[in-house]
Amino acid sequence: MPASVRRARRLRVHGIVQGVGFRPFVYRLARRHGLAGWVRNAGDGVHIHVEGPEDALRRFEDALRREAPPAAEVSRVEAADAEVAPHEAFEIRESRRAGSPTTRISPDLSVCPECLREMRDPADRRFRYPYLNCTNCGPRYSIITALPYDRPHTTMRAWPMCAACVAEYHDPLDRRFHAQPTACPDCGPHYALREDDAEVARGFEALTRAVSLLREGKIVAVKGLGGYHLACDARNAEAVAALRARKFRKEKPFALMTPDLDAARRFARITPAHAGLLTSVARPIVLLPRRNDPGAELPEAVAPGNPELGVMLPYTPIHALLFDLGAPVPLVMTSANRSSEPIAFRDDDALARLSGLADAFLTGERPIARRIDDSVVRVTGGGAMLLRRARGYAPGVVARLSAERPILAVGADLKNTVTLVVGGEAFMSPYVGDLEHYDVQTAFEQTIRDLTAMYAVPLDEALVVHDAHPHYHTTRLAEALPGEHVAVQHHRAHVASVLAERGAADVTVIGFAFDGTGYGDDGVIWGGEVFAGSLRDGFMRAAHLREALLPGGDAAARTPVQAAAGFLHAVPGLPDLTAPPFRFPDRFRTALRMIEKNLRVFPTTSMGRLFDTVAALLGFTRTMSFEGQAAVWLEHLARSAPPAAPYPFPGLDYRPLLRAVLDDRLRGRPAHEIARAFHASVAHEIARLGARLAAEHDARALVLSGGVFQNALLLEALPRFLAGVNANLPVWVNRRVPANDGGVSLGQAALAAYGASLR
Ligand code: ZN
Ligand code: ZN
Ligand code: FE
Residue range 535-545, pLDDT digits in tens: 999 999 999 99
Indicate if the pLDDT at residue 188 is higher than 60.
Answer: yes
What's the pLDDT at 340? 67
Q: Give the pLDDT band (50/70/90) at residue 396.
A: confident
Q: Which of 138, 209, 256 is nearest to 362 (CA)?
A: 209
Report how far ligand 2's centroid is from the alpha carbon of 132 (Å).
Answer: 10
Flag the least confident range among 288-297, 309-318, 403-412: 288-297
The answer to whether the CB of 564 falls within 8 A of the CB of 629 is no
pLDDT digits (tens, 9 = 90+) for 461-511: 999 999 999 999 999 999 999 889 999 999 999 999 999 999 999 999 999
What's the pLDDT at 653? 98
Report how far ligand 1's centroid is from the alpha carbon of 132 (Å).
Answer: 7
From the CA of 494, the nearest ligand is 3
The answer to whether the CB of 422 falls within 8 A of the CB of 69 is no
Cα dist from 248 to 244, 245, 336, 340, 358, whole Å: 6, 5, 12, 9, 13
From the CA of 126, the nearest ligand is 2
Cα distance between residue 238 and residue 389, in whole Å: 32
pLDDT digits (tens, 9 = 90+) for 557-591: 999 999 999 999 988 889 999 999 999 999 999 99
From the CA of 519, the nearest ligand is 3
Report how far ligand 3's centroid is from the alpha carbon of 492 (Å).
Answer: 10
From the CA of 162, the nearest ligand is 2
From the CA of 133, the nearest ligand is 1
Q: Which of 732, 745, 691 is nearest to 507 (CA)?
A: 732
Beta bridge partners, 509, equal 533, 701
Cα dist from 447 to 170, 338, 389, 479, whole Å: 33, 22, 14, 16
**What one-letter code names the amino acid at 256?**
L
Q: What average pLDDT does the segment 707-724 reach?
A: 95
Cα distance between residue 91 and residue 6, in whole Å: 18
Report how far ligand 2's centroid is from the alpha carbon of 187 (Å).
Answer: 4
Report how far ligand 3's centroid is from the alpha carbon of 499 (Å).
Answer: 16
Report how far ligand 1's centroid is from the alpha carbon of 135 (Å).
Answer: 6
Report how far ligand 3's centroid is from the alpha carbon of 303 (Å).
Answer: 25
Report how far ligand 1's centroid is from the alpha carbon of 223 (Å).
Answer: 19
Report how far ligand 1's centroid is from the alpha carbon of 11 (Å).
Answer: 27
**% of the chain at pLDDT higher than 70:** 97
Report how far ligand 3's centroid is from the alpha carbon of 36 (Å).
Answer: 54
Q: Give the pLDDT band (50/70/90) at residue 5.
A: confident
The answer to whether the CB of 530 falls within 8 A of the CB of 510 is yes
What's the pLDDT at 758? 42
Ion ligand 3 residue ranges (Cβ < 5 Å):
515, 518, 741
Report how far ligand 1's centroid is from the alpha carbon of 565 (Å).
Answer: 56
Report how far ligand 1's centroid is from the alpha carbon of 649 (Å).
Answer: 54
Cα distance between residue 184 and residue 190, in whole Å: 9
Q: Which of 102, 37, 38 is nearest to 75 (CA)?
A: 102
Residues 6+ apart with CB under 8 A from 263: 329, 330
From the CA of 169, the nearest ligand is 2
Give the pairing of strands 255-257 and 308-312.
parallel
Cis-peptide into 148, omega within 30 deg: yes
From the CA of 183, the nearest ligand is 2
Task: Go through the chain and tell me how many residues it has.
Answer: 759
Report how far ligand 2's centroid is from the alpha carbon of 158 (Å).
Answer: 13
Report how far ligand 1's centroid is from the alpha carbon of 184 (Å).
Answer: 13
Q: What are phi and psi of 96, to 5 degrees?
A: -110, 130
From the CA of 161, the nearest ligand is 2
pLDDT digits (tens, 9 = 90+) for 413-429: 999 999 999 988 999 99
pLDDT digits (tens, 9 = 90+) for 59-112: 999 999 899 988 788 888 999 999 998 898 999 887 665 444 456 788 999 999
Report how far ligand 2's centroid is from the alpha carbon of 115 (Å).
Answer: 14
Ion ligand 1 residue ranges (Cβ < 5 Å):
112, 115, 134, 136-137
From the CA of 132, the nearest ligand is 1
Flag the least confident range among 93-102, 192-201, 265-274, 350-359: 93-102
What's the pLDDT at 4? 52
Report how far ligand 1's centroid is from the alpha carbon of 331 (Å).
Answer: 24
Report how far ligand 3's centroid is from the alpha carbon of 31 (Å).
Answer: 52
Report how far ligand 1's centroid is from the alpha carbon of 171 (Å).
Answer: 16
From the CA of 117, the nearest ligand is 1
Indicate if the pLDDT at residue 260 is higher than 80.
Answer: yes
Report how far ligand 3's centroid is from the alpha carbon of 744 (Å).
Answer: 7
Indicate if the pLDDT at residue 148 is higher than 90.
Answer: no
Report how far ligand 1's centroid is from the alpha carbon of 46 (Å).
Answer: 21
Q: What average pLDDT does the segment 34-52 reach?
A: 90
Report how far ligand 3's centroid is from the alpha carbon of 577 (Å).
Answer: 30
Report how far ligand 3's centroid is from the alpha carbon of 669 (Å).
Answer: 33
Q: How far apart are the first and last CA of the chain?
A: 67
What's the pLDDT at 86? 86
Q: What are phi and psi of 47, to 5 degrees?
A: -105, 140
Q: Give the pLDDT band (50/70/90) at residue 294.
A: confident
What's the pLDDT at 539? 96
Report how far ligand 2's centroid is from the alpha carbon of 179 (Å).
Answer: 12
Beta bridge partners, 408, equal 420, 464
What's the pLDDT at 759? 38
Q: Which of 35-44, 438-447, 456-465, 616-625 has the highest mean pLDDT?
A: 616-625
